[in-house]
Amino acid sequence: MSQAKFVAGIHAPANHPNDANRKITRCTAFILSKTEIITNAHCVYDAPYVYVVAGTKVVSDANQKIKIKVEKENIAWHPHYSRLIFGAFDIAKITLKTPLEFSDTVGSIELVGKDYKLNNQSEVVTVYGYSRLNNTGPSILRRCDANYISGVERANTFKPSKVLYFTTGEATNDGKIITPGDSGGPVVSKTNGKIVGITNGINGTTGGRGAFLPITLFLDFIHDPKSVKPIPPPLTPNEAKFIADITAPAKFLTAYKKDFADANETYQLKFNAIILSKTEILTCAHSVLGAPYVYVTVNKLSRNATELKVTEDQIEIHQKYELSGFAFDIAKITLKEPLEFNDNVGSIDLVDKDYKMNDPSEMVTVYGDVILDGTMRTRRYDTKYLDGAKCKPKLSAAFDANHLMCYTLDESMGTSSTVGGPMISKKNNKLVGITIFRSGGKPVIFQPIAPLLDWILKSKVGPNQRRRMALKKGF
């Protein structure tokens, strides 16, 4: 225990989001000082109180040398943390009212500085955790050595890419590097003996690799949790009920073939979409053009998200869309099986055909995915739309001010990443536009809906006619 005296255990009374019957969350933490404990946010999030356990190799009800109860007001999780996004900002700080008494079996560990770089793949780290080797047994302190993988492999196997992976090393006991209970534990450099990361969990999609967050990203929060400004929360599933996602194999998309010609079919690009009815989905033409199939995800923010495969015969591209421009960049997907509407899946009404976007003081709400501190989140924000003529000087010659309009984006609210999201009028709560293009430092282009209502509401074009239109345009 003297070799791992900085490792602590966390017990929290909380229902697990994936297991309603689980009453206790057991995690690991590390001791930063006599009053500061660091762990994962998901270990303590919304718990009315937690217990901090220190100075023991085995954590069980019968074997706890030090057990301190900490109330909710002394627990701070990162203000950007969301349960809906695995790994993102998953860190929390516990402040003890009564200082720990340091001894041979209870002590602290230092953090690396802000300038520390995790860029040497040959560097070995040691991972510590109170592992639960079975569902009913105690939590046993273990450690194992591991290497972290490259940023390129990281980005290709998991997002957000700022979550780093360490590969399986020589672990004790059962040979597993990470097991339940290890979340929140320290990752220590064998070079300098300091904390370089915090264990986040296991990502089964990458062969069960353990994931940890680089501690350098959270030094400001650790030193002063109040120094990190909170951002408006991401949307709840109910608030995003009419938003869907489109994922398409990049190598087939006409607009991206040059960039992803050598990619394999599993490399997918994601776009937003809009649920118009139980069988109709609206998105951008360039998001689906050329793809032999795409996947539509509804109830996207829920753990019960539904993914549907759609083939090209179910996709209609607006006949006036040209790849070289932005106008008429719209497509409609017709589902073969109707969606089941519920609290988290629903539709949005369209504006009337005579609706005119000619009041610059009117506020609209834009929905879509944005990137905040490297993490993708589905957000909404209010803005005012601008006449296309005002944006044209700032945009490329391909911008058609006769058919398109634009809006500005507050960069502090995040960087727009995915297009295809809806623009809703705050006046009548109906769909007035669809975002189609975003370029850094420039206004965001959107397509007004009212001029396209005849096309949106008419019967779907058959697959043969769609192919003729595509061939005519040379796609």
| Boundaries of every domain in the chain | 2-227, 245-347+455-472, 363-453
For the chain, 475 residues long, give each residue's pLDDT as a single digit of tens.
889 999 999 988 765 454 445 567 789 999 999 999 999 999 999 888 999 999 988 876 555 668 899 999 999 999 888 776 677 789 999 999 999 999 999 999 999 999 998 777 778 889 999 987 666 667 889 888 888 876 666 656 555 556 777 765 544 444 456 777 889 999 999 999 999 999 987 655 445 577 889 999 899 999 999 988 777 667 889 999 999 999 999 999 999 888 888 888 888 899 999 999 999 999 999 999 999 999 999 998 888 899 999 999 999 999 999 988 889 999 999 999 999 999 999 999 999 988 988 787 788 999 988 776 566 778 888 888 888 888 888 888 888 888 888 888 765 555 566 789 999 999 899 999 999 987 766 788 899 999 999 999 985 544 444 443 444 444 3
pLDDT for residue 471? 40
The residue count for the chain: 475
pLDDT for residue 466? 45
pLDDT for residue 286? 94
Q: Which architecture, in CATH terms, is 2-227?
A: Beta Barrel (2.40)
Question: How far is the C-alpha of 231 from the C-alpha of 227, rounded, in Å?
Answer: 13
Question: Residue holding tokens 């999201």?
Answer: 421
CA nearest 451: which of 355, 373, 362?
A: 355
pTM of the full predicted structure?
0.59
Amino acid in the structure at residue 431: L
Whether 2-227 shares its CATH topology with 363-453 is answered yes
Q: How many CB atoms lie within 10 A of CB 464?
A: 9
Helix H segments across 71-204?
Answer: 151-157
At residue 28, what are phi and psi to the nearest 5 degrees? -110, 160
User: Do residues 164 and 125 lie in contact, with contact meaning Cβ atoms separated by under 8 Å?
Assistant: no
The CATH number fitting domain 245-347+455-472, selected from 3.60.110.10, 3.30.70.20, 2.40.10.10, 3.40.1190.20 = 2.40.10.10
CATH of domain 363-453: 2.40.10.10
Question: How far is the C-alpha of 239 from the C-alpha of 216, rounded, in Å?
Answer: 34
pLDDT for residue 172? 45
List Cα–Cα distances, 245 to 75, 288, 296, 437, in angstroms.
35, 12, 6, 16
Q: How many CB atoms lie within 10 A of CB 334?
A: 15
Half-sphere exposure of 73 (CA within 13 A, CB side): 1
List Cα–Cα distances, 169 to 121, 162, 190, in angstroms.
13, 21, 13
Which residues lie below 8 Å from residue 289, measured CB to CB, with a gap of 6+?
253, 254, 255, 317, 321, 323, 331, 470, 475
Question: How far is the C-alpha of 228 from the C-alpha of 231, rounded, in Å?
Answer: 9
CA nearest 428: which of 349, 356, 366?
A: 349
